[in-house]
């Protein structure tokens, strides 16, 4: 027993010396070949070799040249650039041997109102590297915003280090806006063809419509009717179908190499939640508003409800705004977080630079991508389901209406 423990201790000491020597020399093949005979003497050979090949890349990475800070900063900047909107439709970029940045993509129209309408291509900015001169005025793209400057491109700052230059009214077609228009056109053509196939084939879909028909029926039979009711669900179906496929398609586009992140833009999710808010409250019935401002109804006399309503009514009114706010935050946070995690895992491959770390990062990124495909559909479903639920609350009518009509 003593001899066995001594052998293990000796093997650990020799393995540690090997690790330190590998870190200093980085010459693996000759060393491992000469060390092979020594390791084969023990029954621990297989475990020792496994440990060596598992841990050496990490020791080499720690003992060799550490990842430079500029590489981490470059990856962080790339992730932030991916999450932000842009004035051009860039697919990818690369750096030549001369240090010149090359961008592959297409420019988009920049539309400004600055003492008149100014329209020009975003290629004039050259991705923020140059000024755009239009009708004697100079504009600069700074931190993804357009400022009016002089011919030298001077940016002035206040005491809080915020730019004080004039910002013209911006109606530009950005990358997110372009994807919204493309998605809208795709949906129009897709469902126009689906409707036409119904008419030509006596209510039977054909082609790609066979894939989307069960989804449309599911939204009708399992989302709209159970939450809104058979009497009023049809008035909300156009919005529910539109918002479901709109969010789903944009989420899927965000997982493609196009590099878009539309639903990760809080302005887009705010607009979608605002539509749900407006439809809910403008179509609300008398019973809906009575439940908000008289939640207890006729269950007790009015003088007994005064103290309770001091608490209940503000909560009910606050709930009107909390519901759409939860919609926009849920969609925004989930899609934004998914993009950050995915891009961070891809960036780790450039930091590890080892046979173990890089494949592991790639495998995790691939797994997250598969999960994100499910999340893209799930977020569209949740937004549509909750919207239908809010519409059901707004369109609800109690039995006393039917009784009144009967009398």
| φ and ψ of 41, to 5 deg | -75, -20
Three-state DSSP string of 24-49: HHCCHHHHHHHHHHHHCCCCCHHHHH
Helix (H) or strand (E) holding 105: strand 101-107
Q: Is 336 exposed, middle or buried (0-12, 13-18, 19+ CB in 10 A)?
A: middle
Q: Which residues pair with 113 in a beta bridge?
A: 117, 169
Rounded Cα gap, residues 384 and 224, in angstroms: 9
CB 374 within 8 A of CB 366: no
Q: Return the pLDDT at 277.
A: 96
CB 213 within 8 A of CB 194: yes
Rounded Cα gap, residues 396 and 195, in angstroms: 31
Three-state DSSP string of 314-374: HHHHHHHHHHHHHHHHHHHHHHHHHHHHHHHHHHHHHHHCCCCHHHHHHHHHHHHHHHHHH
CA-closest candidate to residue 274, choices 231, 238, 229, 327: 327
Rounded Cα gap, residues 205 and 109, in angstroms: 39
Structure tokens at 311: 């608490």
Q: What is the mean pLDDT of each run of 10 residues along the chain (407 residues)?
A: 45 46 46 45 46 43 48 76 80 73 83 90 84 90 88 88 90 92 94 83 78 92 94 94 96 86 91 96 90 79 76 90 93 90 82 76 86 93 96 80 46
Model pTM?
0.76
Rounded Cα gap, residues 152 and 116, in angstroms: 23
**Tens digit of pLDDT for each residue in 388-397?**
999 999 988 7
Rounded Cα gap, residues 337 and 261, in angstroms: 11
Q: Return the pLDDT at 10.
A: 53
Rounded Cα gap, residues 316 and 63, in angstroms: 61
Q: Which residues pair with 121 in a beta bridge?
A: 109
Radius of gyration of the chain, Cα coordinates, nearest whole angstrom: 31
How many Cβ atoms from other residues are within 10 Å of residue 33's Cβ?
A: 9
**Residue 104: partners with Cβ closer than 8 Å, 6 or more residues away:** 90, 91, 92, 93, 94
Q: Which residues pair with 92 in a beta bridge?
A: 104
Rounded Cα gap, residues 151 and 164, in angstroms: 16
CB 206 within 8 A of CB 213: no
Q: Is 390 exposed, middle or buried (0-12, 13-18, 19+ CB in 10 A)?
A: buried
CB 256 within 8 A of CB 341: no
Q: Return the pLDDT at 172.
A: 92
How many Cβ atoms from other residues are within 10 Å of residue 16's Cβ?
A: 10
Rounded Cα gap, residues 109 and 86, in angstroms: 11
Number of H helices, E strands in the chain: 13, 8
For the chain, the farthest-separated pair of C-alpha atoms sits apart, in whole angstroms, at 102
Q: Which residues pair with 371 in a beta bridge?
A: none
**Tens digit of pLDDT for each residue in 129-170?**
888 988 888 999 888 889 999 988 889 988 888 898 889 999
Q: Which residues pair with 163 in a beta bridge?
A: 157
Q: Return the pLDDT at 400.
A: 53
Strand order in the sheet with 145-149: 132-134, 137-142, 145-149
CA-closest candidate to residue 319, choices 283, 287, 292: 292
Instruction: Provide the 3-class DSSP secondary structure of residue 69.
Output: helix
């Amino acid at each position: 027993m003593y001899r066995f423990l001594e052998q293990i201790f000796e093997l650990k000491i020799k393995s540690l010396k090997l690790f330190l020597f590998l870190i200093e020399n980085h010459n693996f093949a000759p060393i491992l070949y000469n060390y092979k005979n020594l390791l084969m003497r023990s029954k621990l050979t297989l475990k020792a070799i496994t440990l060596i090949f598992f841990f050496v890349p990490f020791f080499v990475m720690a003992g060799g040249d550490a990842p430079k800070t500029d590489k981490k900063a470059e990856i962080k900047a790339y992730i932030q650039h991916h999450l932000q909107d842009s004035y051009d439709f860039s697919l990818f970029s690369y750096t030549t041997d001369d240090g010149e940045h090359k961008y592959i993509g297409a420019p988009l129209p920049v539309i400004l109102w600055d003492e008149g309408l100014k329209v020009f291509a975003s290629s004039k900015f050259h991705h923020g590297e140059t000024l755009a001169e239009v009708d004697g005025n100079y504009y600069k793209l700074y931190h993804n915003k357009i400022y009016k400057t002089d011919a030298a491109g001077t940016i002035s700052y206040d005491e809080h280090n915020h730019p004080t230059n004039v910002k013209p009214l911006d109606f530009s077609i950005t990358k997110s806006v372009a994807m919204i228009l493309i998605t809208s056109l795709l949906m129009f053509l897709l469902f126009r063809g689906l409707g036409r196939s119904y008419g030509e084939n006596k209510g039977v879909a054909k082609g790609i419509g066979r894939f989307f028909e069960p989804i449309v029926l599911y939204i009708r039979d399992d989302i709209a009717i159970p939450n809104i009711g058979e009497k009023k669900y049809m008035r909300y179906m156009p919005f529910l179908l539109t918002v479901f496929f709109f969010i789903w398609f944009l989420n899927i586009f965000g997982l493609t190499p196009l590099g878009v992140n539309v639903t990760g833009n809080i302005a887009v999710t705010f607009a979608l939640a605002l539509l749900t808010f407006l439809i809910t409250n403008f179509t609300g019935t008398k019973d809906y508003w009575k439940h908000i401002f008289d939640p207890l109804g006729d269950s007790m006399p009015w003088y007994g409800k005064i103290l309770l309503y001091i608490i209940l009514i503000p909560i009910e009114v606050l709930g009107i705004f909390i519901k759409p706010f939860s919609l926009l935050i849920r969609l925004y946070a989930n899609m934004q977080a998914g993009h950050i995690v995915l891009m961070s895992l891809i960036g780790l491959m450039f930091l590890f630079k080892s046979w173990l770390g890089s494949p592991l990062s790639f495998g995790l990124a691939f797994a997250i991508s598969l999960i994100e495909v499910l999340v893209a559909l799930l977020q569209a479903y949740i937004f549509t389901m909750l919207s239908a639920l809010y519409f059901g609350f707004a369109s609800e009518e109690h039995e006393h209406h039917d009784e009144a009509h009967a009398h």
